A and B are shown apart, each in its own frame.
Chain A
Amino acid sequence: GESVGLHLPTLSVQEGDNSIINCAYSNSASDYFIWYKQESGKGPQFIIDIRSNMDKRQGQRVTVLLNKTVKHLSLQIAATQPGDSAVYFCAGLNYGGSQGNLIFGKGTKLSVKP
Chain B
Amino acid sequence: DGGITQSPKYLFRKEGQNVTLSCEQNLNHDAMYWYRQDPGQGLRLIYYSQIVNDFQKGDIAEGYSVSREKKESFPLTVTSAQKNPTAFYLCASSIGRGGTDTQYFGPGTRLTVL
Q: A residues touching B (Cβ–Cβ < 8 Å)?
A: 9, 32, 34, 36, 41-46, 49, 89, 91, 93, 98-102, 104-107
Contacts and interface: CB of A to CB of B under 8 A. Distances in A.
Interface in B6-31: 6, 31
A98 B48 CA distance: 10
A77 B56 CA distance: 36
B33 interface: yes
A100 B102 contact: no
What does DSSP make chain B's interface, helix, strand, loop or mixed?
Answer: strand
Contacts of B41: 106
A102 B101 contact: yes
A31 to B, nearest CB: 9
A89 to B, nearest CB: 6
Contacts, number: 60
A4 to B, nearest CB: 8
Contacts of B48: 98-100
A102 B42 CA distance: 11
Interface residues of B, number: 27
Given A46-B102, A91-B43, A106-B41, 5 more contacts: A32-B101, A42-B107, A43-B6, A89-B42, A102-B33
A44 B105 contact: yes
Interface of B: 1, 4, 6, 31, 33, 40-45, 48, 50, 56, 58, 90, 92, 96, 101-108, 110
Nearest to A5: B42
A107 B31 contact: no
Of the listed residues B44, B105, B107, B110, the one surrounded by the most CB atoms of chain A closer than 10 A to its CB is B105
B102 A49 contact: yes
9 contacts: A42-B1, A42-B107, A43-B90, A44-B43, A45-B1, A46-B102, A98-B48, A100-B33, A106-B42
B42 A42 contact: no
Given A104-B43, A107-B42, A34 B102 contact: yes
